[in-house]
Structure 1
Amino acid sequence: MAACFNGDVSLPPSPAPRRFSKHIRDNVHGDIYLDSLSLKFIDTEQFQRLRDLKQLGVTNLVYPGAVHSRFEHSLGVHWLAGVSIEKLKNYQGMELGIDNFDIQTVKLAGLLHDIGHGPFSHLFERQVIPRVASSSHWSHEQMSADMVEYMVDEHHIDIDPEKIKRVKGMILASSEIRLPRSSSEKSFLYDIVANGRNGVDVDKFDYIVRDSRACGLGCNFEFQRLLDTMQVLDDEICYRAKEYLTIHKLFVTRADLHRTVYTHPKVQAIELMVADALIEANNYLEISSHILNPSEYWKLDDTILKTIETSSSKELKEARELIMRLRRRNLYQFCNEYAVPKDELENFKKVTAQDIVCSQNNGGVTLKEEDVAVCNVKIDLTRGKHNPLESINFFKDYESKEKFKIPDGRISHLLPACYQDMIVRVYSKRPELVEVVSDAFENFQLKTYGIKAQVHSTPDKKKRRYNSCI
């Protein structure tokens, strides 16, 4: 099997007594070391809970090997964050003033950046929270920051308050709720774990390798080259100009994983069913109140479906039926999809179940909104419709102290002219309505664009499969 990683990324552990640290073997990065401060957080029930959160949610029901957890990913990001800051210290330590405070802060941010994820990871945040929470501003990054404070207080972890403040700032660096920084802070440190400037960070380095390997997919992106060639100029991490294609591969590989794994049509069918089950069970599970309180939130994990399945509560009947359908692989049926035409992307408005129902021709079975599910899938190279290389600064060689951007025309004429896809997918929640929903979806495309934008029509065999059930 091809894999993204071809060798260990290793540096000697930070200078601390070995009796206070642990040495473990990771299946991606090889030998990694955990220092005593990190172990204080790892040895809490809040962090150990990450063992019960699958990194890719329900993807393992389509890619059977994708059963790795947020726990191992967090250890991997912790290690790569440490490798990154140690390399910068070795290369430019005197110039940048990197000290042990900086090293520990960056490593802790890598370790704890995902502590705020909920059951089934992104599924919970994107499809459940918006339907149960009165506020739309909830994010796993903010919950991670809140959880860090809770863990310190709950377990009386002896740590400098300023260090915790900076850890939180690094976790939130790529989110919409960045914390204010003083002018004296080393801004380049915030580029390592969650890079809000351009998206090149060790979080992606780890999950791209780890997810590709777990799903049995190969990729040719090698993050080691970026770790070895990065340099800080004007308080920003920059990369050697000759590595521009390596960075482009990072974003292309990520987009490919989104298309073929993270938003696989059947993965999304399962996600829709799990989300519907959790919404049906919300009054019983009190999800909407748990998400506001770190002391309760950390108790939610992927075993939540077992709680629903084994409960004797009558109010969970609908949720249990959905879970039983999942067990029998009687999924919401994927009808079809189309990519929004490039010239329509600018004015695209999300398609809803109501749009599909209103496009049904008269006669036959009458569709209801609850019979249809729609997914609007945006896939880009992290910068929306823009070329991600536009936001990255490069340098010519290690003697150079000048940074610059590389214009599109000087990179390659083979690179894409458009950097974003918007895909509309439609599902029938009732198997016997596949043909009706498919026809309504095609009518919607004709009404909206004047053409059927899908690559091919829904196979007649799939439409006929459930006709006898009507």
Structure 2
Amino acid sequence: MMAQHLKDKQPDLGITDRDVLCVAVAGLCHDLGHGPWSHVWDGMFIPEVLRREPERLQHLQGWTHEKGSEMLFNALVKDNNIQLQQEDFDFIKALIAGEPLRTPHEKIFLFDIVANKRNGLDVDKFDYIHRDSHTVGSPISISLDRIINSARVLDNQICYDIKDANHIYEICAARFKLHKIFYNHKSAKAIEYMIIDALLAADPHMNIVQRIDNPKSYLYLTDSILERIEESESDELEPARAIIDRIRVRDLYQCVDYKCISWPARRPFLEYITPQRIVDAANALAQESGQDVDILKDDVVVDSSIMHYGMKQSNPLDSVKFYSKRSADVCAHPQPGDYSLLMPTYFAEVLLRIFSKNKNVFGIVQAGYRKVLKDLQEAIESGRIKACDPAECSPTCACACHFAPLIQDVPAIMLTDIDDLASAPTPPATEAPSTPKAKAHSRQGSFSFSGMGGGTGGSASTPFFNNNSFTTVPPNYVPPSPSAAAAKNRKPRSKVLQNKDRNVSGSGNSSMESIGSVDSASTTTLVAGSGGSGSSGSLIKNKKRERDDDGEGAPVTEREVKKHRLKG
């Protein structure tokens, strides 16, 4: 659609039907190489296997799903005896990989359509953001047709109308939202790690990873591999089956703690906070407190999910050129004031989460993680570890490197209105009194620099080192099992529900008496079928009742009964 639009709107570009067809084929085939569970396979499972067995799997180093797509495309063309010119064949594969240098004689702007490595704005992103946001019930209110119709080739790249800059920004923001809320949801991430562990346990016996360089074997490597492991009765696959059973009964790996880290401050956290350090700290704390636990390195997962707008820490719109209807043949990068000034300092962050595979050590693993976090803070404050990368850091970020000069005692700071900041000479007493300035609002005590959190008087605390008060549990805490939690949250059956065989009339005193007999703290209103129908069916609805001054539940009125009868 994008290629056809450019061909129709700008015939001077010389786009041919052959170009449109090659772009369409590349768009359809560019994700063929994704394995089971998409990015879980090529972004988590494959790297972990290669890390564990680098020598045996040396021939698979550097494997990506784009390479898998090319492999399957080669097999598809060969097995089906598709007659393609070699230059078309090479062009399609270069489009899939997003590598224009492989075919330098082709129109370079066409590479912005399928796998855009210039700014990330391609039809693949348009498609999955629109699809996934609609699937999860939070559809974006942006017309993708409008964005595509806005596209225009200038300076050998795809540009957009400046009036659509905010719409494009919203697409990038929607990408971040999907990653933040849905793709990286703690339960989804826990299940992903459990799937990886199941595959790792099964791989030595099923040769799973070896299939990625064999197109015929890889073709049948789908999500159904979990079912194949489950139905197996092999003793070697018992550990993998046990993990899958835990997924089925919702006995998931537990997220014991989490913290958001700004982009420039990420490196020391990612390098210092490791499963081994957490396990060592947790075992030491358990020994001190007399807890009889023995935590292993494999019991803990340190997950660092990078979430961004599409171009890591950079504003993706900085890499997009725009034009205006008054100068349709001239393009330029926009300034922030051209579309909005409400921009984050960084367009990426890291969500650091600690998972425990064994729920029985939930509390002590959290305590171990927090001990490691405290050790990291002390190492940064002493200068043994650099807080962040100066090349990526800005003076307005909340990184620890900026509070070094501020940790001395800081006097109380008075915050005033902006008018009070302008000093003016005191008028002579003989002149008419000047209009009084706005009254200053004095706030004494702590002062937060760039969102660091608590006051800086002698403290080097930032949000990265503060303990998460919403996740804090005692070191001996053990979460309830899924079945126990379900039983605890199950609502008790009311007397009316226990007597479900009784038919309640839709009118008259008997129905009012039945309704009035329900416990006033959580009234269950029983409304018969529509009046006069003779139906014995009933609508049961739980409704919280406000208590009056005497502590009794407010009575159910005849009007409410009629209202619920109409709803039924």
Question: TM-score, normalised on structure 1?
Answer: 0.77
Could you say what secondary structure the match of 1:192 adopts? helix
Q: Which has the higher helix share?
A: 1
Deviation at 1:459, TM superposition (A): 4.8
Could you say what secondary structure the match of 1:395 adopts? strand
Contact 1:233 1:403 in 2 (8 A): yes
Where do residues 391-470 of structure 1 align in structure 2 (5 Å cutoff)? 391-397=319-325, 399-449=327-377, 452-460=465-473, 463-465=477-479
Where do residues 27-426 of structure 1 align in structure 2 (5 Å cutoff)? 83-93=1-11, 95-133=12-50, 134=57, 135-173=60-98, 178=99, 180-341=101-262, 344-345=265-266, 348-350=269-271, 351-360=273-282, 361-362=284-285, 363=287, 364=291, 365-397=293-325, 399-426=327-354
Q: Deviations over 1:134-173 (max 9, x none)?
A: 3441110111011101111111122222222111111111
Deviation at 1:255, TM superposition (A): 0.6
Q: Deviations over 1:172-224 (max 9, x none)?
A: 11xxxx36344431111111111111111111111111111111223233322
Alpha-carbon distance in structure 2 between the residues aligned to 1:269 and 1:106: 37
Could you say what secondary structure the match of 2:351 adopts? strand
Q: Which deviates more, 443-452 or 152-161?
A: 443-452
Q: Which deviates more, 453-462 or 107-116?
A: 453-462
Alpha-carbon distance in structure 2 between the residues aligned to 1:436 and 1:466: 16
Going from structure 1 to structure 2, the CA distance change for 1:310 and 1:143 (only over 3 Å counts) comes to: same
Alpha-carbon distance in structure 2 between the residues aligned to 1:207 and 1:355: 38
Contact 1:435 1:464 in 2 (8 A): yes
Q: Which deviates more, 164-173 or 440-449?
A: 440-449
Alpha-carbon distance in structure 2 between the residues aligned to 1:400 and 1:435: 61
Alpha-carbon distance in structure 1 between the residues aligned to 2:238 and 2:126: 42
Could you say what secondary structure the match of 2:78 adopts? helix
Contact 2:22 2:92 in 1 (8 A): yes
Counterpart residue identity of residue 394, structure 1? F
Contact 2:359 2:478 in 1 (8 A): no
Alpha-carbon distance in structure 2 between the residues aligned to 1:346 and 1:411: 32
Deviation at 1:409, TM superposition (A): 4.7
Deviation at 1:454, TM superposition (A): 5.0
Alpha-carbon distance in structure 1 between the residues aligned to 2:258 and 2:78: 49
Contact 2:309 2:315 in 1 (8 A): yes
Could you say what secondary structure the match of 1:318 adopts? helix
Q: Deviations over 1:321-371 (max 9, x none)?
A: 001111111111111100124652365534421132133243222321111
Going from structure 1 to structure 2, the CA distance change for 1:229 and 1:432 (only over 3 Å counts) comes to: same
Contact 1:123 1:271 in 2 (8 A): yes
Unaligned runs of 5+ in 1: 1-82
Could you say what secondary structure the match of 1:291 adopts? helix
Give the number of aligned pairs: 381
Going from structure 1 to structure 2, the CA distance change for 1:454 and 1:148 (only over 3 Å counts) comes to: farther
Counterpart residue identity of residue 167, structure 1? I
Alpha-carbon distance in structure 2 between the residues aligned to 1:231 and 1:399: 12
Deviation at 1:403, TM superposition (A): 1.4
Q: Which deviates more, 391-400 or 282-291?
A: 391-400
Contact 1:220 1:249 in 2 (8 A): no
Counterpart residue identity of residue 84, structure 1? M
Counterpart residue identity of residue 372, structure 2? F
Deviation at 1:464, TM superposition (A): 4.1
Contact 2:253 2:359 in 1 (8 A): yes
Deviation at 1:274, TM superposition (A): 0.5
Going from structure 1 to structure 2, the CA distance change for 1:182 and 1:290 (only over 3 Å counts) comes to: closer
Alpha-carbon distance in structure 1 between the residues aligned to 2:198 and 2:79: 32
Contact 1:336 1:457 in 2 (8 A): no
Alpha-carbon distance in structure 1 between the residues aligned to 2:298 and 2:166: 46
Alpha-carbon distance in structure 2 between the residues aligned to 1:388 and 1:203: 16
Alpha-carbon distance in structure 2 between the residues aligned to 1:437 and 1:465: 13
Counterpart residue identity of residue 14, structure 2? G
Q: Which has the larger radius of gyration?
A: 2
Contact 2:100 2:108 in 1 (8 A): no
Question: Pairwise CA RMSD of aligned residues?
Answer: 2.1
Could you say what secondary structure the match of 2:270 adopts? coil
Unaligned runs of 5+ in 2: 51-56, 379-460, 485-568
Contact 1:372 1:427 in 2 (8 A): yes
Counterpart residue identity of residue 359, structure 1? A
Counterpart residue identity of residue 469, structure 2? H
